[in-house]
Amino acid sequence: MYLEQRLDDMQKQLEMMTSFVQMMMPNLTVRKEVMHFLQISRTTFNTYMNNGVFEEGIHYYFDDDKSIVFIPDEIIKLRASGMQRRVAKSKREKVNDVLAGMGIGA
């Protein structure tokens, strides 16, 4: 009986924690929350849409009103795969990249 009670207690705690996480989780079905979650700008978001980073049928779909609806699990997977906000390179880094491409060490 003791083991069954411990399992019941653990299940209740797990359900409580799951409810808490769901309350704190952003609504990853809408563009604004997806941008915030991925830490990207509107411009970057539009670039990702145009360049196929977000794939229709995988990351989003269109509902009956022709509104875009994101698929939360896939957005989370996208971020977990290493997608992070890109930081602009400094002028020095850009020059070093050009020189390296020309075979010249900086």
Beta strands in 1-106 (DSSP E): 60-62, 68-70
Q: What does the pLDDT look like over 34-81, one tens digit per residue?
A: 999 999 999 999 999 999 899 999 999 999 989 999 999 999 999 988
Residue 15: CA atoms inside 13 Å, Cβ hemisphere, count? 6
Query: Residue 86's domain spans which residues?
Result: 27-101
Q: How many independent structural domains does the chain possess?
A: 1
Q: How far is CA 63 from CA 22, 60, 74, 84, in A?
A: 23, 10, 17, 28
CB 28 within 8 A of CB 37: yes
Residue 10 backbone phi and psi in degrees, to 5: -65, -40
pTM of the model: 0.61
Q: What does the pLDDT look like over 83-99, one tens digit per residue?
A: 654 444 566 676 677 77
User: Is residue 38 assigned to a domain?
Assistant: yes
User: Is residue 72 assigned to a domain?
Assistant: yes
CATH number for position 97: 1.10.1660
User: Is residue 22 assigned to a domain?
Assistant: no
As beta bridge partners, residue 38 has: none
